[in-house]
Amino acid sequence: MIFSFKQIASVTLILFSVIDIVGAIPVIIDLRKKHGSLHEEKVTMVSGLIMVVFLFVGDSILALFGIDVQSFAIAGAIIIFILGLEMVLDKHFFQSHPESSSSIVPLAFPLIAGAGTATTIISLKAEYSVPNILVGIVANLILIYVVLRLSNQIEKWIGIAGVNVLRKVFGIVLLAIAIKLFKTNLFNLSM
């Protein structure tokens, strides 16, 4: 049989930990405040499209541009680092333009389906079957959509002070993730 519950569960948990949609709640709340609507359906679909594309042709896309996985991960780490700085310092580096949508950058990419997620998906192909990876991706997309839809309620539940505390804490977490991604991939790049 093609589908394996064990593989699906493993892939789902691995992607859940890499995507960390729960940890991104302060960023989601902040983006909703800055831009109003997040276009939850669009964010979820674009994130899913990026993940599926990287599942099937991620290696080829990077090779086409002469980019290795480590360089791609370092670029994503820099963007995540800037997002973390925004949260900790309460400064805005990403400028919002009225004609642009906040749904894609930085939410769908690189926060949800960024370098970490893409490189993880490419790596998962070595150990898991593609149908099981697809089911794991879909399971995560459902959770992403639910968190995006409930972000207003989550903000009400934890209050303004709670959001501010979470924002600072997860800003530091994002900075640490970015530094780890940068350090790991810089080391692997030089090898």
Domain boundaries, the chain: 35-89+99-189
pLDDT score recorded for residue 177: 77
Closest CA to 79 of 129, 32, 121, 116: 116
What is the SS3 assignment for 37? Answer: coil
Q: Are 141 and 47 contacting, i.e. CB atoms less than 8 angstroms apart?
A: yes
Closest CA to 153 of 41, 48, 44, 40: 40
Is 171's pLDDT higher than 70?
A: yes
pLDDT score recorded for residue 142: 97
C-alpha distances (whole Å) from 161 to each of 26, 148, 166, 175, 189 are 12, 20, 9, 21, 41
Interior angle at CA 102, CA 100 and CA 103, nearest 5: 115
Tokens representing 183? 């350090």
4-11: average pLDDT = 94
Q: CA-CA distance, 7 to 136, in Å (whole number)?
A: 9
pLDDT score recorded for residue 101: 53
Closest CA to 108 of 44, 54, 58, 62: 44
Per residue in 27-79, pLDDT (tens digit) is 888 888 887 888 999 999 999 999 999 999 998 988 999 988 788 778 777 87
**DSSP state string for 82-95:** HHHHHHHHT---SP
pLDDT score recorded for residue 55: 95
> In the chain, what is the straight-line distance between the N-terminal and C-terminal CA atoms, in Å?
40
